[in-house]
Structure 1
Amino acid sequence: MKTLSLIAFTSMVLLSISSSAQITSKADNNKLNFIFQKGEIGPAENFTGKAWNIGLVENDSVYNTVVGNVYFEPEAISNWHIHPSGQILIITDGIGYHQIKGQPRQTLKKGDIVMCPPNVEHWHGASPQTGMLQMYILPKTENGMVTWLQKVTVEEYSNHK
């Protein structure tokens, strides 16, 4: 119930923001509407390319939920990883990919919502030509947050079957 309240609150915040900064990187010819600041660059051991993270809701013992925003520059992707209680992704702009181990890669675009199941290997990131902005929600953090695994191969990133 608390997680649903947090999701509703986050949705209201997103809807109430009427003006967004537009940022364009050299590799990204499409302007993306940034709702939040870019944040800090993610560690190279967990990402291929540049992914920028900013925390929006810090973990605490009341909500046990983390909310943040990631900007993946074009071709930037996460390593394979798992979340003990799953992860919710809300794509706020751009084009990207998501893949659950053993399933076909999915293309993501603004407005898509992805439910990453608990303890299931997956990765996500931007397309080759366009960056991607995503909000993430990690529920039930008392079970743990993330276990980072191996890098995504070029074949995995390129394979849409």
Structure 2
Amino acid sequence: MQISRAGSRPSQTPSPEYFTGRVRMDPIGAADEPGRHRVLLVTFEPGARTNWHTHPLGQTLHIVSGLCLAQIEGEPVEELRPGDSVWFPQGVRHWHGAAPDVAMSHLAIQEALDGETAVWAEPVPEADYGGPRAG
């Protein structure tokens, strides 16, 4: 058994190369090899979001607080609220982040393949971020 006490792992600021706006990551857990799971609590300030990206083995997000916006390429922007979860299958291009005027935190759960959990692409343009919302 491994116990990680609250406050024992410092918050991380991810590379601005992969995010727009202010984002903080708090590690929750990661499996020792040969395990592959990684869990983070990610907090986005209003308007902050990821770049477009994919995950080699998929990703689950569980919204903890605020209002999450998420989009799979070519589909409308979805609004997700606390208690909602979403699964992005492996290789599916998407982004996620906070609404323009509401901060958001989610648990990000993914597996690493050869040490990588994400394949990053370009920033999300304002036209996509503010695009049509799902009904």
Bin the TM-score by the shorter chain: 0.7 to 0.9
* Identical residues among aligned pairs (%): 34
Runs of 4+ aligned residues of structure 1 deviating over 4 Å after TM superposition are none
Q: Identify if the C-alpha distance between structure 1 residues 38 and 125 changes in structure 2 by more than 3 Å, giving closer, same or farther.
A: farther
Q: Quote how far apart the aligned CAs of 1:98 are.
A: 0.5
Q: Which of 69, 79, 86 is equivalent to 2:58?
A: 86
Cα offsets for 1:29-63 (capped at 9, x unmatched): xxxxxxxx882222111100001111111242243
Q: Quote how far apart the aligned CAs of 1:133 are.
A: 0.4
Secondary structure of the residue aligned to 2:63 is strand
Cα offsets for 1:93-136 (capped at 9, x unmatched): 00020001111110111011010110011000000110000001
Matched-pair contact (CA < 8 Å) for 2:23–2:44: yes
Structure 2 length-normalised TM:
0.86
- Structure 1 CA distance for aligned equivalents of residues 31 and 71 of structure 2: 26
Cα-Cα RMSD? 1.6
Partner of 1:112: 84
What is the aligned length?
124
Structure 1 length-normalised TM:
0.72
- Structure 2 CA distance for aligned equivalents of residues 49 and 38 of structure 1: 20
Structure 2: gaps of 5 or more residues: 1-8
Query: Relative contact order (C-alpha < 8 Å, sep 6+): which is higher?
Result: 2
Secondary structure of the residue aligned to 2:68 is strand
Structure 1: gaps of 5 or more residues: 1-36
Matched-pair contact (CA < 8 Å) for 1:71–1:133: yes
Structure with the largest fraction of helix: 1
The alignment status of 1:137 with 2:109, answered yes or no, reads yes
